[in-house]
Amino acid sequence: MSSKETVHDPIAALAEQQEYKHGWVSNVEADQLPAGLSEEIIRAISAKKSEPEWLTEWRLKAYRHWLTMTEPTWQKPQYPAIDYQKVIYYSAPKKKAEVKSLDEVDPELLATFEKLGISLDEQKRLTGVAVDVVFDSVSVKTTFQDELKKAGIVFCSFSEAVHEHPELVRKYLGSVVPFTDNYFATLNSAVFSDGSFCYIPPGVRCPMELSTYFRINSAGTGQFERTLLVADEGSYVSYLEGCTAPSRDENQLHAAVVELVALKGAQIKYSTVQNWYPGDKDGKGGVFNFVTKRGVAHENAKVSWTQVETGSAITWKYPSCILKGDNSVGEFYSVAVTRDYQKADTGTKMVHIGKNTKSTIISKGISAGHGDQTYRGLVKIGKGATGARNFSACDSLLLGGKCGAHTFPYIESQNASAVIEHEASTSKISDEQVFFLRQRGLSEEDAVSMIVNGFCKEVLSELPMEFAVEAQKLLGLKLEGAVG
Amino acid sequence: MPTQTTNSLLNALAHDASSEPAWLRDFRAEHQKLFDETGIPTQRHEAFKYTNFRPLHEQAFQPAAAVEITEADLKPYLIGDDDLRLVFVNGHFSDTLSRLPRVPDALLIEPLGRIIHSTEPIATKLGAVVEPSPFGALNAATFREGLYVHAAKALTSDRPLHVLFVTTGGHAIASRLLMSCGEATDLRLIESHIGLGDAPRFVTHTSEFILARSAKLRHVRLLRETDASWHVAQTAAKLDRDASYTHQGVALGARVARHEITALLNGEGAHATLQGLTMAAGTQHVDHHITVDHLRPHCTSNQLFRSVADDRSHATFTGKVIVRPGAIGTDAKQQNNNLLLSDDAKVDTRPQLEIYADDVKCSHGATSGQLDANALFFLRSRGLDVKQARGVLTYAFANDLVEHIGIEPARHHMQQVMHQKFHGLLGE
């Protein structure tokens, strides 16, 4: 913790701009399709990836459906209209071809990820984390593939999976988030370029953390990746996702889809640290993060979402759990930080269908500057969900008088035996709390930092160790100038 | 688009305003326009997500007609000696059933139909508080009659004014209540909505309260419509500095009841308490829609809404607390508890906070569940049968609100009603 001598009001300082650390651009030659959206572009994307006919058709079906849809407007954050004809839907670093070993990967790319602190060199990694790296529209490299193969685990880029494991992809693609789901998911279904695919065979406990790192580099591109994760009966996997983008004056669109399938007795833990470019201090530029994430939990299965949302000009996503099987469990832990002109409308949906299903929602929002954030969630107890149980707690911390924090939970119960509890609170850091810590010898910055960390602890402790460190660092950086 | 039968409802409500002053005709036209934009809202309308008005389109209604009822018909609904009461039957003021003995000069009580032609300045008050929701607009455009109450500065009285709106069935009725409480007044009002007879009916009712500085109003609202009634109401209060408004509602019935309550805390130090108890059974549907708007600093608000849903009934609650920029020192609480007594009953709740100021304390909580198994077991081990044990616990859940009703005769009356309702379940 560095101490800055001139900070008097840590909360005011918090609202000041802190430079985005990942805002640089890599000089990588890109292979792009022209901007615009049409059946030709979709066919071109599909052709670039030499996809089978059924997938091309699936994309086109989605595109035709998308044309009939209207952009939703019910969300809290408003944004300037997106011209979908000006977005570049496919951008890939050149010279990719067949990457057999690390030596063949573009050194500029390696340097990019080195700079982001993600080493693609397996030898150099201390921790056992396998990474699939997605640069603009395509997956660049997946590490530790051989080792995972030994356990029977499939972990590769989506394009690779389409060729290597078409039967799995075909069976599960769109099974959780159908292409008709919502405006942005449908758009994604039409134009998704790459993403990660993972299959854990029955009874296998994945020996390492799997992770995907997303980087937007080219200007004018949108990123539309798709992650599909299938945990077969009795298996376990912990999956991490991280993302950054260069600082640009324009708004870039990121519309991803994540589908999780937890079959009987399987457990999936999905963690996200989202740090897309949030725009400058006047709210110019930044990534629009409009993401659809949903998991299905079959009998005795568990789907757990943990997210730390610090980036993006606008975050708009609701990682959800469909608790289909009896005794299945859904969890949602979230920390969202908005400052400057960032806006977040996030939350979850817990749909209880099976008997004795349980769900927990813990959401923490921190709003500073002109930041504005909304928790929006749905807990739905179906008629057959006897003995269902839900607990939700949503707390907001306001730093400064110009920010906003909102809570819009929806609770629908159709079963008398279901027990649902929801609580929410909104407050600021009280002078008493700061005074107490100051009196114990902490600087004001450290005091605020400690209070904020304590506020988020419940969620941060859910992150896998490797990620918890990054998340805490990120939270520190995000609140730097105030909290050291 | 309105269907043929919606037109039947709208035709029945249509009001001939030709003899009314110009300002009122403009007021109605403006609201008619607002209503025409939405029509009867569907469930695609977010605020009406949980309430289905479609069956309304299949029913035919007659224009509200004055029907003779007797004091005996009214008897079960009268509270205490009820010597200060105003009765409206199907939206028409009833001179014979009302009792309006000597009241202080400072208190003006007149039917709206008379007051609009007088010099009393109500043009600026009518519609000044209530938000023009689709049904609010419909009411403003079509209300036929209502009551105007004005209390001049510093009038205090612990004698409650009881206003009864009685329906006899078959009609579409639009009624209204406007009460303006002067500075430092302290008053009590009981508002009863009573359904007699079996025929279907549609009621739209709006109550508006304007509280000047330091005014205090206790308002108890009792809804006892029939299982064939559509009851759609707005209650709105606007509070000036240090004013205090307490709303306590008990909803015992209507086929579909929708009640929108709004409190605008528009002066520093204002306070609003909003409470409601819903006892839904059969196929009843009760929808509460609450907005508490903290517009100024240092206001406090407290909401407690409870629902008991039995049989195939459906109880829904939407409560929003808004804290506007600069409204520091706000302390807002909101609590919603739901008890499901049957597997076919349904509860939907949306407790919401919308906050734009940092130095505030806001919290909300919502629960939904069934009777506690341990408590049931305890009572059964003491020799109560299942039915009695469930009765005792349900009564306790509901009585928490009833026993806090702030107007003594109304509390006493409702406790008796509750005793009757649970009679036999509680033992003697």
Q: What is the pLDDT of residues A373-421, one digit of tens each?
A: 889 999 999 989 999 999 998 888 888 778 888 889 999 998 888 899 8
- Which of A383, A405, A420 lies nearest to residue B367, judging by beta carbons? A420
Residue numbers in chain A where pLDDT is lower than 50: 1-8, 14-15, 17, 96-98, 123-127, 482-484
Residues from chain B that touch A428, judged by Cβ atoms under 8 A, are: 358-360
A431 touches chain B (CB under 8 A): no
Tell me the DSSP string of A193-218: -B-EEEEE-TT-B-SSEEEEEEE--S
The count of CB pairs under 8 A between chains A and B is 111
Pairing of strands B361-369, A419-428: antiparallel
Q: pTM, whole model, 2 decimals?
A: 0.85
Distance of CA A388 to the CA centre of its chain: 27
Contacts of A427 in chain B (CB under 8 A): 360-362
Interchain CB distance below 8 Å, A420 and B364: no
Our CA-based measurement puts residue A430 at a distance from the nearest CA of chain B, in whole angstroms, of 9
Mutate to test the interface with A, among B368, B371, B394, B397 (most CBs of A within 10 A): B368
Residue of A nearest to B336 (CA): A422
| Count of residues in chain B | 428
CA distance A360 to B270: 37
Rounded CA separation A382/A324 (Å): 10
H or E element: which one contains A189?
helix A183-191
The answer to whether the CB atoms of B370 and A417 lie below 8 A apart is: yes
Q: Which of B189, B191, B316, B333 is nearest to B250 (CA)?
A: B191
CA–CA min distance B23, chain A (Å): 36
Q: Which residues of A touch B308 (CB under 8 A)?
A: none
Q: For chain B, list residues with pLDDT below 70.
A: 1-6, 424-428
Closest CA to A400 of A344, A479, A484: A479
Contact call for residues B183 and B213 (beta carbons, < 8 A): yes
CA dist., res. B33 & res. A79, Å (int) = 30
Dig out the tokens for B59 from the structure.
């029913």
Residues of A in contact with B46 (CB under 8 A): 74
CB atoms within 10 A of CB A367: 30
Nearest to B200 by CA among B74, B62, B72: B62
Under 8 Å between Cβ of A254 and A291: yes
**Taking CB atoms and an 8 Å cutoff, what residues of chain B touch A418?**
340, 368-369
What confidence score (pLDDT) does residue B313 get?
A: 93
**Partners of residue A197 on adjacent β-strands:** A156, A228
Residues from chain B contacting residue A425 (CB–CB below 8 Å):
361-363
Q: Distances in Å between the alpha carbon of A108 and those of A124, A193, A444, B126, B344?
A: 18, 22, 42, 71, 63
User: Tell me, what's the pLDDT at A399?
Assistant: 81
A403 to chain B, closest Cα gap in Å = 6
Collect all residues with Cβ–Cβ distance below 8 Å to B55 and sequence separation of at least 6: none
Interchain pair A422, B367: CB under 8 A: yes
A138 closest CA partner among A190, A102, A83, A89: A89
Please report the pLDDT score of residue A17 as a whole number: 45
> How far is B355 from B417, CA to CA, in rounded Å?
40
Which chain A residue's Cα is nearest to B309?
A416
Distance from CA of B302 to the nearest CA of A (A): 14
Nearest residue of chain A to residue B361 (CA atoms):
A427
Tokens of A20: 């985005």
User: What is the complex's ipTM, to 2 decimals?
Assistant: 0.81
- Are B368 and A413 an interchain contact pair (Cβ–Cβ within 8 Å)? yes
Pinpoint the alpha helices (H) of B310-385: 373-381
Q: Provide the sign of the torsion angle of the four alpha carbons A456, A461, A464, A468, taken in this order.
A: positive
Preferred mutation among B322, B353, B371, B397 to probe A, highest tally of A CBs within 10 A: B353
Nearest-CA neighbor of A196 among A225, A234, A167? A225
Residues A391, A371: Cα–Cα separation, whole Å: 27
